[in-house]
Each structure stands twice: as C-alpha cells, then as structure tokens.
Amino acid sequence: QICLSLVKLLFYLAHSPLGSIVLLDFQPRQFVMVDGNLKVTDMDDASTEELSCKEDKDCTLDFPTKSFPLKCSAVGKCEGINEKKNLFNAYRYFFTYLLPHSAPPALRPFLGDILNATGDLRYGINETLKAFEKVLHLYKSGLYLQKRPLLLKDYISLKGFRTVEGEDYKCWPSYSHLGCLLSVHSAEEAAAICNSQSQCQSFIVTQRRTWTGRPLASFQSSLTDLIPDANAVVYIKRSTSSGERL
C-alpha cells in the first residue's frame, strides 16, 4: 500500500502542471500516510529545474552506490533526470525494505521484477505504475493463486459460530501481534495457509477487510470457546483430536 501510493505520488510529480518536480530531500521522514495515501509533508526542497547540459556526458545521475548516464536533449536539458532521481530514491528508501517481505509467494517474482527494474532505472514512472497496478489486480482478484488440490474439504465447517480471539501462535506478516491474522482471498486460500503451518488446527474468515477489500483470517492452534455469530464460520481440521473436541 505504501509503495503503490508513493508511485502514484511520483507519477503526479512527473506529470504535474508545473513540469517534472524533483524532491531534493527525499527521506522517509518527509512522508506521512493520510487515509491510506502517502503525502509529502514538506515541499520546501521541491524543484522543477532540470539539469542543463551541452552533451550526454554532462548528464550523469550520481548516487552513493550507483551512477546512471542520461541523455542531453535538444533543448539542453538532461532528459527525465527529475523523474529518475525520484524513482531511484523510492527504490532505495522504500522498495528495497518493503516489497520483498510480505507478498504471497506467487507474487514475489513480479515484485522482484519491479525491484530490479527500478534499481537499474530500466523502468520510468509510467512503467513502474503499470507494473504495480498489474500486481494489485492479481492480488485483489486471486488470479495469482495457482491451481492446486482443494483443501477446504479436509475441514469441518461450523456455521453460525466464531472463536474467541486471544493470544495464540505468531506468524509473519500478521496483522495482529497477539496471534496469526492474515489477509486471504478466500476460505480455500486460508485452508492452504493453515495446512502449511504445523501449529494451525482451525481458522475463521473474519468480517474485517484490508485496504484491498480482502478479508482477514484468524488462524489458531486450538479451539477456544465458541460464540454464536450468524455471519461466521469456523473451519476445523478433520483430525482425531478435532473430532474428539467436537
């Protein structure tokens, strides 16, 4: 969410009515999330000036660990230097820390491609936004889920009940520090996640939603007290221990 919002912001800056705007003091502390959108808190160090040049060798974009040769345009300006500077700073301050760690495994190659392409400045902001929107579509639609055996049939479903949420085993990247609360596309994906975790014996797909509209599923190592809830379903692994508890 943070990276996509940042890319949308940089897309606007690259195509603003004032021209391409560069953030000269590009640091994470310069940004804040407001209602799910990333905002710049200080525009004092923003500039629309693009580096003047006479030939291509005047247009080297230097960073502490990398340098990029750019073209000198016919009007004597380094082509796209403001856009590219913003994008590489987004890569080194945000993408490298946030992109690789919390996506479903099937989506990580797509994010890896974005990471590599922005790190080498092979993508401009237009291509980067398009790539992010593709990943978001795959994520929200569930199209990233590979065809696999249906696992939900291995679970007993108790309709009209939910479990008491409390401290349980931890998982990454959980939305709760008390236990294992993950975003899922469906109960079928939740069953696959539960099967992949040795501690998991039951789960419930909650009514809570993430910013993408996906529900949150709570995974538990044992059945706690059941509470009547007309809108809920508890899924329990079909095992001897589960049968005994029922």
Each residue's pLDDT tens digit, 207-223: 899 999 999 999 999 87
Average pLDDT over residues 229-233: 85
Q: What angle do CA 167, 172, 174 make, to 5 degrees?
A: 50
Q: In the predicted model, is pLDDT for residue 4 greater than 50? A: yes
* Dihedral angle of Cα 116, 122, 126, 130, to the nearest 10 degrees: -40
Backbone torsion region of residue 76, taken as left when φ is above 0, otherwise alpha when ψ lies between -120 and 50, otherwise beta:
left
Q: Where in the sequence of the chain do the CATH 1.10.510 domains occur?
A: 1-144
pLDDT in the model for residue 25: 87
Q: What percent of the chain has pLDDT over 70?
A: 97
pLDDT in the model for residue 244: 46
What is the rounded average pLDDT for all residues in the chain?
89
The active-site residue, picked from 25, 42, 45, 120, is 25
Overall CATH class of domain 1-144: mainly alpha
Average pLDDT over residues 133-161: 88
Question: What backbone phi and psi angles, to 5 degrees, belong to 59?
Answer: -115, 55
Contact between 14 and 86 under an 8 Å Cβ cutoff? The reply is: yes
- At the second CATH level, the architecture of 152-237 is 3-Layer(bba) Sandwich (3.50)
Question: pLDDT-derived band of residue 90, with 50, 70 and 90 as boundaries?
Answer: very high
Average pLDDT over residues 183-191: 93
Q: Is 25 a catalytic residue?
A: yes
Q: According to the per-residue pLDDT averaged within each range, which of 160-169, 203-212, 234-243 is highest?
A: 203-212
Q: In the predicted model, is pLDDT for residue 242 greater than 70? A: no
Q: Where in the sequence of the chain do the CATH 3.50.4.10 domains occur?
A: 152-237
Average pLDDT over residues 16-38: 91
- Interatomic CA distance for residues 104 and 110, integer angstroms: 11
Q: In the predicted model, is pLDDT for residue 103 greater than 50? A: yes
Give the range among 55-69, 163-177, 181-195 with minimum mean pLDDT. 163-177
Q: In the predicted model, is pLDDT for residue 165 greater than 80? A: no
